[in-house]
Structure 1
Amino acid sequence: MKNPLLFFCCLIPILLPARADTTVIVATKLMGSRFVFTAVHGNADSALAAINAGITEVARVEALISTWQPGSEASAVNRAAGIAPVQLSEETFGLIRRCLRVAELTGGAFDPTFAAYDGLWRFDGSMSAPPSDSAIQQRLPLAGWQKVQCDTARHTVFLPLYGMKLGFGAIGKGYAAERAKAVMVQAGIRSGIVNAGGDLLCWGDDPEVAGGGWNIAIANPRQREKAMAWVRVKNQAIVTSGNYEKFFDWQGRRYAHILDPRTGHPAEGVLSTTVICPNAELADALATALFVLGPTDGLALIGQLNGVEGIVITALEEIKISDNLQLQWE
C-alpha cells in the first residue's frame, strides 16, 4: 500500500497519568543514547527499583559488547583479529551467533562486520567529503559475515583477517532493551516500555488505553508533537532507522550513517524504515536491513517472516507498508 508522504516516521510513546496504577518514567544516558524507562505498578517505589535494575542491566550489557570500552568482550575479539580466537561468555557468543544468522537471512544487508569501515566514514560533523573509492575498496575484504569463525564447543570467535571488526550498533540497543525488560518483569513490572534511543520495547497495557496495549504515535520529526498515525502494540518492539539524524551533505548529496556492508557505501533510496515485531533485538537488526535492502526487497523479506511488519518511507516520498500492518491515520 502506498500513501503520499506527509511526515517522516519516528516513534514517540504517549504516556498518560494512570488511574489505578502509578506510572514511573526515568530517562538516562546509556550506550551513547537516551534511554527512557517506563514502569506501571501499584507502588511507585517498587516501579523505581525495577527501573534502576533495568538501568543496571543495560550498563552490564554495554560493558560486554561496546567497542568503545577496551575491556569489553567485543573489543577483545577485535584486538585479536588475524591473531587468535577469543573465548567469550555464553551471552556474548550467543549474541554473535544470532547476528550471523540475521546476516544470512538478510543476505548481508545486516552484518556485524560492517565495523571494518569504522573511521572511513564519520557522521559526527567532522567529515567534509566522502572517502575515496580506493579507500573503500581497501576495506571491502575486511567485511563479510561469512568470514567470522565460531567454535560452539569452545565458545570462541575468530576474525581471520587483521583489521576485521565486529560492531553491534545495529542490534545492541535492541538486545539491551530485551535484557532490561527481563529484569523489570522479574521485579514485578507487568506493563512498561523501554525506549532505547528510539528503539521501543512495549509490554503489558497502558492503563489509559481501552482494550489493552500501548498506542504509539508515528510522528513528524520536524514537528514531533504532531502525530500522523498511531499503531497499537502489545508485547512488541518498534524500531526505526532513518537518514535524518546522523549524516553529512556534500555537493548536494546526502550521506547517511547507515552503510550497506556489502559495498561500503551509505544506503540510498530510503528516508526511514520501521519494523514492528515481538523481539527488540530482531527488530533493531531488521530495521537496518530494511533500510539497506529498500522497499521492494526489504518488504518482500518482511512478508516472509511471521509476526513481523514494516514501514518504508522512500526517497521519492512514498510510504510503503507491509500487508498486515494496521495504522490509524490522523
Structure 2
Amino acid sequence: MIRNTATFLVIIFIVPFAICQWKNAALGDDSSHITFTALKDQITLMLHLVVDLEKVIIESKERNNATNQLEISIIHSNGDVFNDCNEIFNKGYTQSGVYMIQIFHGFYQMPIFCDMQLPGVFSGKRGWMTIQTRMNGEVNFDRSWNDYLHGFGFPDREHWIGLRNILRITKQKRVGKFGIRNLAFRIDVEDWDGVTGFMEHSDFSMLSEEFDFEISDLGQFSGTRGLGSHLGFNAHKPFSTYDHNNDRRRNEACVKSQRGGWWYGFCSHTNLNGVYSARREKMTEEKIFIRNWGNVNPRNTAFRYVSIKLQ
C-alpha cells in the first residue's frame, strides 16, 4: 500500500518535472543538471523514507496486537508547520507531548516528543526534541546497525529516533545565541533512588553516514556537579553496534560487555543505550551507565530514566 502510494506520487509529481528538466537540458540550460541531480537525491531519500514508514507501521501494529491502529497520541497544531519544538513552544503550544516536525527542509514529517518544561542552559529557551528515551525496559536496545540507522520504539514511550533522523535534525534551523551552528545537546537521568542529573552541551554535530555518524563537535559544557563531561570522551568517535564495530580500539571484551549501539571509543565512559537495569541494581558498565555517577549519588544506584534531547 505504502509503496503503491509512493509510486503514484513519483509518477504524478516527479516524472513531469524530470521531463521538463530533460527538455531544458536539450535546450542547453546548464542549471538543469544541478536541479536534476538534486531531484535524483530527493527520489532516493523518499524511497528510503517509504521503507522507514513501512517499518514503523509494522512495529506499531505488532505493539497494538494487530488492531491496525496507531496509538501514538499526537498533539495537533491546527495545520501549522514547524522545524523544531522551540518553534512550537513559541506558538503557544506549551504542553509536552508528541508533535509533527518537518524534517529535511519540509520533505517529510515525523512525530517527535517535545519536552516543553526544561529551559536550555545556554539558550535559555524551552522546547527540546527528544531523540531517545528509556523509562521501563519495554524496548530492547541491544539491536543491529540497521535498527539504529532507522530507529525503533515509539516517541511517547521508549524509543531511539534513528541515526539518519538525528543527522537530518542537525541540518534543521537552530536556536540559541551561539550562531547558526548551535544545536544544543542534553541528557537527563534519574536513578531508582530518585536522584537526578543532567549534562548539556552548547553545540552538537556529527558527520555523515559515510563516516559512521561520528560526533564532530560538542561545544561548551554544563551539568550536575560531580558528573563531569563524560560525553566528551565520546567525541570524534564513530557509532558502533554489535554487528558494526567501527572503532578498532574497542576490543572484543568491550563489544561483548557493553551492549547496545553507542559512540564507544574504548570501553566507553557512557552508554545510555545499554541494557535496562532493574530496581535496586547498582550501576555497572554492562548496562545503562555514566561513569562516576557515584559522585552524584554515593549509593551508585542504576538509572530508572534516561532522555536525550536536541534543541
TM-score, normalised to structure 1, is 0.29
Structure ranking higher in strand proportion: 1
Q: Which has the higher contact order (CA 8 A, sep 6+)?
A: 1
**Which structure has the larger Rg?**
2
TM-score, normalised to structure 2, is 0.30
